[in-house]
Amino acid sequence: MILPGLRSSKLENRIVVFFVVLLLFVQLAGFFAIRYAIEQSARSNLREDLNVGVRVFKRMLEQNSQQLVEATAVLTYDFGFREAVSSQDRDTILSALGNHRDRIKAAGMALINLQNVVVADTLAVDSTGKQFAFPELIAAAADMRRSSAIRMIDGTVYQIVVVPVLAPLPISWVAMSFVIDDAVASDLKRINSLDVTFIGKTGNSPAEIFATTLSPFMREQIRGFIDNLANQPEMGGTRTLAGEEFEMLSVTIDRYDNKRIFALLQRSMRDGLRPYDSLQVVLLFLAAVGLTISLFGSMRIARRISRPVSALAEAARAVAAGRHVSVSAEAMRQNDEIGELATAFDNMSRGLAERDRMRDLLGKVASPEVAEQLLRQNIELGGEERQVTVMFADIRDFTELCETLSPHDSLMLLNRYLERISGVIDHYEGVIDKYTGDGVMALFGAPIARADDPERAILAALEINRRVRELGQELAREGLPHPLVGIGINTSRVIAGNIGTASRLNYTVLGDGVNLAARFESLTKRYQVPVVVGRETREKVPGLVYRELDKVKVKGKKVAVRIFEPLGREHEIDAVALATLHTYHEAIEAYRQRRWQQAAASLAAIRDQPGYHRVCEIYLEYIRQFESAPPDQTWDGSFALYEK
């Protein structure tokens, strides 16, 4: 049920159709129930009407006959008539009878003497001298001074009235015959609204219809069953004739010899139900009004449901597509479950948007994969102690460099560096914890810990170094400054978690190990190496070749830590370099065992090897100092680092 021009959704249609069909069903059921009740009541009314009609009919026949009797009696009192009767002259009598018959508008009039012999009969002129055909009527008239009966004569039914001719004692009988024809039936119908058919039946011969108010067609219709009817004295019932229902009742109105005359009274059910037609119209009208109201009402309700749902669905599609929309205020204003749903959806959408923003941010600070994983696993970013490899990567002397560049160019330069660095960190699945001005702090092993965290950290550091050198060549070509990067890496147990307030949280790590990594980064400058890693990191990544740089005592720490420079994988290092490294490590060993001369000799031998100049210079300086002022017994071969 879709009205043209109405925007309708499937749900809306279904709701409307459901309600309309439901109402239609209810109304149809009601309509038919009422119709049934009406019909039943009408039927019983009709039956009652018919019974009353039959009583009326009988009474009418009686009255009719009574009137005819009285009229006939009056007529026979006419003196001239009595004179004519007593004249004994048949022709005179016959003409007088004809005259009086016409006065009363009868069909026939007969004079019968006291011996039941017909004196004259206008209906049967040649019956003079014959016995009167209905002596029982005269007997009844002798008893009652009058009688009346219905008799069949030659295919016609008559009401025959017999009264005496009084002078003042009866001197003869007069039989007045009134034909019962269609006109009489119509007269009767006018009074009791029933169709009347006068039927006669003689013995077993077929019943005859003498008079009726029925149409010729209906007359033929009833002919089929009146024979049966004739065998039952009074019979009623409902019959269907030519598709029309009739309630009928038969009444015996006279019976003599082997003859029976009866009347069939009937009423069309359709006529009986006609008064209820207007009621049906009213019912249909009410049904139509109810249907219309329910149609528009259910459409309105459906729209109230489906519109917000559609809006929500659209919003959901938008959210799925990555856009964040607010559900229409109209939907949320609704003060029902739909409104609740809209509000909840809106909150969800906002939550998703928040999360997306977070993911974006996370994507900026961590590798997208990690961010994805973080989000997917819904990791609780609570505080916990865990082993993390922390990396600090810093552009060396960037602050000084900035003084020679405009702020804009400085920032451009910085970002080019950070972009390279970040890319590599992302590649090795490190998480950028923060940008520290001209550097980057990255985590490997937080928030998600993996076995190869230290290895990835070191490989990332080596890669950063390579990339920064490439960048340096690019920048050199552009005529721009191209500083180097120092990277410090340390693996240690730290506290990881969200730091800050509920509105502004920052996931980071805290602990000595973090500070140590920062120290290592700054040490790259002293040793003029790109990467410095701690002992823990080195032990966790055994597959690489390291150069031990030193054993340093950091400020505030009692224990000295050994620091190393990762050089690369074993197969990447050529034999000469390995030999040099071996010599170097022997020299340092000698130095720690206070064999200054041996150490100095070895260092001097390799000091011109590439990358060894600075470390050799540092150790040779140590040796020079210790030769003049040897360290005390507690010296563990470390160098106390007091500067940052």
Between 98 and 170, CB nearer to another protein: 170
* Piece of the chain touching another protein by CB under 8 A; list 23-31, 74-82, 94-102, 208-216: 74-82
Of 81 and 596, the one with the shorter C-beta distance to another protein is 81
What b-and-e string marks burial along 465-503, b requiring 16 or more CB atoms within 10 Å of the CB?
bebbeebbeebeeeebbbbbbbbbbbbbebbbbeeeeee
Least distance between another protein and beta carbon 121 (Å): 21
CB nearer to another protein: pick between 147 and 266: 147
Q: Quote the CA–CA distance of 416 and 438 in Å, as a whole number.
A: 11
CB of 119 to another protein, least distance (A): 14
> Among the candidate windows 39-47, 165-173, 214-222, 583-591, which touches another protein by CB under 8 A?
165-173
167 binds another protein (CB under 8 A): yes
Looking at the Cβ atoms of 171 and 309, the one nearer to another protein is 171
Among positions 254-273, residues that touch another protein (CB under 8 A) are none
Using CB under 8 A, which of 63, 66, 86, 377 touches another protein?
86
In 3D space, the residue among 152, 158, 71 whose CA is nearest the CA of residue 107 turns out to be: 158
Residues 6+ apart with CB under 8 A from 533: 458, 461, 488, 489, 490, 520, 546, 563, 564, 565, 566
Count of alpha carbons within 13 angstroms of residue 634, beta-carbon side:
4
Smallest gap from residue 69 Cβ to another protein (A): 15
Among positions 91-150, residues that touch another protein (CB under 8 A) are 143
DSSP reduced 3-state for 170: strand
Q: Minimal CA–CA distance to 298: which of 19, 22, 28?
A: 19
Q: Which stretch binds another protein (CB under 8 A): 75-83, 221-229, 265-273, 524-532?
A: 75-83
Do residues 251 and 54 touch, judged by C-beta distance below 8 A? yes
The interface region with another protein, picked from 127-135, 164-172, 298-306, 353-361 by CB under 8 A, is: 164-172
**Torsion angle of alpha carbons 64, 66, 70, 73, nearest 10°?**
110
Across 36-122, where does the E strand assignment appear? 108-113, 118-121
- Cβ proximity to another protein, 104 vs 167, nearer residue: 167
Smallest gap from Cβ 76 to another protein, in A, equals 11
x-or-dash pattern for another protein, window 3-42, by CB under 8 A? ----------------------------------------
Burial of residue 257, with CB atoms counted within 10 A of its CB: 0-12 exposed, 13-18 middle, 19 or more buried: exposed
Q: Contact region for another protein (CB under 8 A) — 17-25, 36-44, 78-86, 450-458?
A: 78-86
Residue of 4, 105, 155, 169 that binds another protein (CB under 8 A): 169
* Helices (runs of H) and strands (runs of E) counted in the chain: 18, 19
| Three-state SS at 462 | helix
Residue 478 is given by DSSP the state: T
Candidate list 171, 353, 405, 448; residue touching another protein; CB under 8 A: 171
Please identify which residue in 4, 5, 10, 79 interacts with another protein, judged by CB under 8 A. 79
| SS3 annotation, 357-409 | HHHHHHHHHECHHHHHHHHHHCCCCCCEEEEEEEEEEEECCHHHHHCCCCHHH
* Residues that contact another protein, how many (by CB under 8 A): 12
Q: Which of residues 451-480 bind another protein (CB under 8 A)?
A: none
Choice from 104, 166, 448, 484 touching another protein (CB under 8 A): 166
Q: For the chain, how big is the Rg over CA atoms in Å? A: 65
Binding site for another protein (CB under 8 A): 77, 79, 82-83, 85-86, 143, 166-169, 171
